[in-house]
Amino acid sequence: MSYIANNQDAFKAIADPGRRRILDAILLDEKSITDLVTLLGLSQAAVSQHVKVLVLAGLATARRQGRHTFYGANPVELRTVNAWLHKYERFWEGKLDALEAHLAQKIN
């Protein structure tokens, strides 16, 4: 079950409602910290912290332009998180195979 460790950061990142709002906001267009503060009504400190977590988790990318940094969602990584769910599904398929083998043993 080692895959439980995979994308831990991404899971933690999207577990927070504030960070989900930020991800939503940057899904289609890049935004600066200032844009996000105005858009979401969160404090600059909170937005900066959330964005940092998203970038570290690989869910957002930072692009410097002049004196500003623009943040955008990284859909490839989001898709990786989705793939993680399918791994969990395969985990259960494997466990149910083991259940069937266990039952076969019980009946004999």
Residue numbers at the binding site for other proteins (CB under 8 A): 1-2, 4-5, 8, 11-17, 20, 23-24, 27-28, 61, 74-79, 81-82, 85, 88-89, 92-93, 95-96, 98-103, 106-107
Q: Which amino acid is at 64?
A: R
DSSP 8-state assignment for residue 31: B
Rounded to a whole number of angstroms, the minimum distance from the CB of residue 95 to other proteins is: 6
List of residues 6+ apart from 55 with CB closer than 8 A:
61, 62, 71
Rounded to a whole number of angstroms, the minimum distance from the CB of residue 13 to other proteins is: 8
Nearer Cβ to other proteins (15/45): 15
Nearer Cβ to other proteins (21/48): 21
List of residues 6+ apart from 26 with CB closer than 8 A:
36, 60, 71, 72, 73
Rounded to a whole number of angstroms, the minimum distance from the CB of residue 70 to other proteins is: 13
Whole-angstrom distance, CA of residue 108 vs CA of residue 104: 7
